[in-house]
C-alpha cells in the first residue's frame, strides 16, 4: 500500500507520525470517560488492550510495510543531530508518569467497576507503560547524555524493572542470540517456559553486572554508587506514595501495572529473538552480532507507535543509532506482522510454533544442525 511513496515523503510522514504514541496515552482517559454512564463499564476498562492487540494487527496488515530507509551519510547524520526527535521521546516521560498517578486515583476511587473492570484497568495502564513507557526507556538508556539516561531510568523505576537499564545494555546486547542470554528465546521454547527465567535473570544478572562494575572501580556494592539501589529505591518510594495516597489498593495498583508492563516487555523479547542464534567460532567465541540475529518487523503503523523498535535487527547491529535513522534489511529474518499481532500469537504456543518454527527452519535451511540441543528448550 505504501510502496509507491518516495523515501522523502515517507520520512516526512514519519517525522510527524511518531506522535501517534500519544493516542495510546489518550485512549486510557477516553475509555474512562466512556465508562461513565455506560451499561458496560467493565468492558470499557479493557478498551486499550482491545485496540492495541485486536485492531492494530489488522491495521498493520492493511497499511503494510515501510518502504523507506534514510540514506547513509548526510541524511543519517542530519537526522541523528535533530533535537526534535530527542525531545519527542523525552516528552513522553512526564505524560506517562502523570498517567500512572491518575490511573491509581481512578483504580482506587471508581465504583463503577467490579473486579473484572479493575483487571481491565490494570491491563490498560500496563499496556501503555509497557508498550510506550519501556520502549521509550529502551531508546533512552542506550544513549550517552545524562538527561536521557536518567529519564530512561525513571520510566523503568515506575514499572519496578530498573534491572533492565543495566542488564539490557551490558548483558543482553553482549550475549544476544546465544545460550548465555535469558532474553533470547530458544527454538521450540514456549513463552511460558521463557518468562520465569527471563524475570529472574533480568534481576540477578543486573546485580551481577553492577557489582562487577563497582569492583573494577574499587567501590562498595552496597552504597550510593550502585545505581540499582537508587532506581529500585525509587520504585519503593513510589509504592509507598501510592500506599499513603490510596491505601493498600494503591500499592496493589502500582505493582499490578508494573507486572503487566514488564511482562509485555519480556513477551516482546521472546518475539524479537526466537530461535535465532550466533554461530560459535573455532576460537570458542560467538560470531559478532549482525542484523541476522534479530527478527525484523517493518510494518509502518506499529513502528510509528514504538519509535522504530521493530527495526530491531539494525538496533542490535548498531545499538547507539537513534530511532529515527534505524534501517530495514531485506535479508534479516522477517516477522509476519507487527509486534502487537506477534504478542497475541505468542500467548498461544501451538499457534506460535505453527507460524514461527517453519520460518526458523527456512532461515537456517541447509544448516539445520545449527538447531542443536543447546539451542533448544529442554
Span 89-118, pLDDT tens digits? 999 999 999 999 999 999 999 999 999 999
Lowest mean pLDDT among 25-29, 87-91, 281-285, 309-313: 281-285
Q: What is the pLDDT of residue 368?
A: 65
* Average pLDDT value for residue range 341-362: 97
* Average pLDDT value for residue range 28-33: 97
Q: What is the pLDDT of residue 364?
A: 86
- Is pLDDT above 70 for 1? no
What letter does residue 51 receive in the DSSP assignment? I
β-bridge mates for residue 286, sequence order: 280
Q: What is the pLDDT of residue 373?
A: 45
Which residue bears the cell 507486572? Answer: 259
Q: Please choose, from the candidates 14, 53, 66, the residue with its C-alpha nearest in 3D space to the C-alpha of residue 339.
A: 53
CB atoms within 10 A of CB 208: 15
Mean pLDDT of the chain: 93
Task: Express as a percent the part of the chain with pLDDT over 70.
Answer: 97
Show the cell assigned to 298: 517493518
Q: What is the pLDDT of residue 374?
A: 43
Burial zone of 91 (CB within 10 Å; 0-12 exposed, 13-18 middle, 19+ buried): middle
Confidence of residue 378 (pLDDT cuts 50, 70, 90): very low
Global pTM reads 0.95
CB atoms within 10 A of CB 31: 22
* Average pLDDT value for residue range 152-158: 98
Q: What is the pLDDT of residue 372?
A: 56
Q: What is the pLDDT of residue 369?
A: 65
- Is pLDDT above 60 for 376? no
Cα within 13 Å of Cα(131), Cβ side: 27
> CA 21, 23, 26 angle in degrees (round to 5)?
120
* Average pLDDT value for residue range 34-45: 95
Amino acid at each position: 500500500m505504501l510502496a509507491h511513496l518516495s523515501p522523502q515523503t515517507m520520512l516526512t510522514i514519519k517525522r510527524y507520525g511518531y506522535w501517534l504514541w500519544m493516542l495510546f496515552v489518550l485512549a486510557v482517559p477516553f475509555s474512562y470517560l466512556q465508562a461513565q454512564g455506560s451499561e458496560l463499564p467493565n468492558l470499557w476498562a479493557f478498551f486499550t488492550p482491545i485496540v492495541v492487540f485486536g485492531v492494530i494487527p489488522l491495521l498493520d496488515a492493511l497499511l503494510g510495510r515501510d518502504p523507506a530507509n534514510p540514506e547513509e551519510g548526510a541524511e543519517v547524520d542530519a537526522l541523528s543531530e535533530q533535537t526534535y526527535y530527542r525531545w519527542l521521546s523525552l516528552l513522553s516521560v512526564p505524560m506517562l508518569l502523570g498517567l500512572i498517578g491518575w490511573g491509581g486515583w481512578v483504580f482506587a476511587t471508581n465504583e463503577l467497576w467490579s473486579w473484572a473492570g479493575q483487571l481491565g484497568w490494570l491491563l490498560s495502564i500496563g499496556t501503555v507503560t509497557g508498550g510506550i513507557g519501556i520502549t521509550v526507556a529502551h531508546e533512552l538508556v542506550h544513549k550517552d547524555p545524562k538527561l536521557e539516561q536518567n529519564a530512561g531510568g525513571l520510566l523503568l523505576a515506575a514499572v519496578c524493572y530498573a534491572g533492565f537499564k543495566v542488564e539490557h545494555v551490558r548483558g543482553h546486547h553482549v550475549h544476544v542470540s546465544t545460550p548465555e542470554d535469558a532474553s533470547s528465546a530458544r527454538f521450540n521454547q514456549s513463552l511460558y517456559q521463557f518468562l520465569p527465567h527471563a524475570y529472574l535473570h533480568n534481576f540477578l544478572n543486573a546485580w551481577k553486572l553492577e557489582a562487577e562494575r563497582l569492583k573494577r572501580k574499587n567501590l562498595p556494592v552496597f552504597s550510593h554508587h550502585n545505581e540499582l539501589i537508587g532506581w529500585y529505591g525509587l520504585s519503593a518510594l513510589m509504592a509507598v506514595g501510592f500506599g499513603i495516597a490510596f491505601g493498600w489498593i494503591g500499592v496493589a495498583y502500582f505493582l499490578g501495572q508494573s507486572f503487566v508492563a514488564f511482562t509485555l516487555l519480556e513477551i516482546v523479547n521472546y518475539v524479537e529473538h526466537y530461535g535465532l542464534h550466533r554461530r560459535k567460532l573455532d576460537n570458542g567465541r560467538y560470531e559478532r552480532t549482525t542484523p541476522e540475529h534479530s527478527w525484523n518487523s517493518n510494518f509502518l503503523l506499529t513502528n510509528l507507535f514504538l519509535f522504530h523498535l521493530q527495526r530491531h535487527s539494525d538496533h542490535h547491529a548498531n545499538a547507539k543509532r537513534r530511532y529515527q535513522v534505524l534501517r530495514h534489511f531485506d535479508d534479516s529474518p522477517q516477522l509476519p506482522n507487527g509486534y502487537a499481532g506477534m504478542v497475541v500469537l505468542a500467548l498461544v504456543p501451538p499457534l506460535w510454533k505453527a507460524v514461527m518454527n517453519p520460518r526458523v527452519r527456512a532461515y537456517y535451511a541447509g544448516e539445520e544442525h545449527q538447531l542443536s540441543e543447546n539451542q533448544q528448550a529442554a
